[in-house]
Amino acid sequence: MLNASTSSARGFVWLIGAGPGAPDLVTLRGLRFLQAAEVVVYDELVNRELLAHCPPGCEQHAVGKRAGCHSATQPEINALLVTLGAAGKKVVRLKGGDPLIFGRAGEEIAALRAAGIPFEIVPGVTAATASGAAAGLPLTHRDYSSAVVFVTGHQCAANTSALDWGALAKLRATLCFYMGVRRLPEIAQNLLGHGMTADMPIAVISEATLPAQKILTGTLRDAEKLSAGLAGQPALVVIGEVVRLSSFAAELPRLHAQAVK
């Protein structure tokens, strides 16, 4: 990491995690840099209320990304950050969740380093912890789960996945699949095929921390219906025994019934 004071001519880029949805989950550090930005480059999943904290005259670039819909490619975003930094701008790259967890920050960091543009990473609340909190379930528990695994759903296609499904199925862990709703039937198929029990509980949390938040629960055998219930929506899938500890546990039969209608 480099300090802003090391370069005045080359500009500076802050890669900031905006958190999972609710605008007040951004960190105070991230908010401070946002309020001083000359340019903001923001993703689709960033809460637009955060943009109200930009100073007057702040230039804004939407580079939204949702499944199957990208307004800018990653190389185009990398080039934009380099161009703005080289022009001497104070740039905030605002990302949903945490920049370092499936946020493709690594590619942006590499581009900035190659161009000699100083930068700083400001972490944010990632979707897994936010979704666990929203559903009232701990991601770890000394009796049920001694590890947490973050997996991107994009790597879960049944015929092309390079994941070690045998290890995932046998690991005493909570599995958190980002962008995994569409692939949930294949995820379940792979886990079941490698020995995970069909009654392993699942929670699917969409729009975590927002008023439109929705929580569906079931088991691996319900994967296809759970997937259909939230088709096209950004959501996080939690698979593991900890789902039984959710603060919604008393409501699980009703929530399950809704999920499998």
Q: Is the pLDDT of residue 37 over 50?
A: yes
Q: 91 and 131 share a domain?
A: no
What is the rounded average pLDDT of the residues 226-237? Answer: 87
Considering only CA atoms, give the Rg of the chain. Answer: 20
- CATH code (residue 36): 3.40.1010.10
Q: 134 and 29 share a domain?
A: no
Say what the pLDDT of residue 257 is.
53
Task: Name the residue with higher pLDDT: 35 or 248.
Answer: 35
Global pTM value: 0.86
- CATH code (residue 170): 3.30.950.10
Banded pLDDT at 159 (limits 50, 70, 90):
low
Q: 153 and 243 share a domain?
A: yes
Say what the pLDDT of residue 254 is.
54
Q: 160 and 74 share a domain?
A: no
To the nearest whole number, what is the mean pLDDT of the chain?
A: 89
User: pLDDT of 43-73, one tens digit each?
Assistant: 999 999 999 999 999 999 999 765 555 578 9
Q: 159 and 50 share a domain?
A: no
Q: 172 and 247 share a domain?
A: yes
Q: Is the pLDDT of residue 253 over 70?
A: no
- Tell me which of 56, 90, 122 is where a domain ends: 122
Number of folded domains that form the chain:
2
Q: Is the pLDDT of residue 7 over 80?
A: no
Q: Is the pLDDT of residue 205 over 60?
A: yes
Q: 158 and 100 share a domain?
A: no
Catalytic residues: 43, 65
Two tokens at 42?
């923001």
Q: 233 and 174 share a domain?
A: yes
Q: Is the pLDDT of residue 145 over 90?
A: yes
- Tell me which of 107, 122, 137 is where a domain ends: 122
Q: 83 and 174 share a domain?
A: no
Q: 202 and 157 share a domain?
A: yes
Q: 86 and 196 share a domain?
A: no
Q: Is the pLDDT of residue 4 over 50?
A: no
What is the rounded average pLDDT of the residues 97-111? Answer: 96
Q: Burial level of 143, CB count in 10 A (0-12/13-18/19+)? A: exposed
Domain residue limits at 62: 4-122
- Tell me which of 72, 98, 122 is where a domain ends: 122
Q: Is the pLDDT of residue 1 over 80?
A: no
What is the rounded average pLDDT of the residues 135-150? Answer: 94
Q: Match 């996080």 to its residue by tokens.
A: 236
How many whole angstroms separate alpha carbon 21 and alpha carbon 47? 6
What is the rounded average pLDDT of the residues 84-101? Answer: 97
Q: 95 and 194 share a domain?
A: no
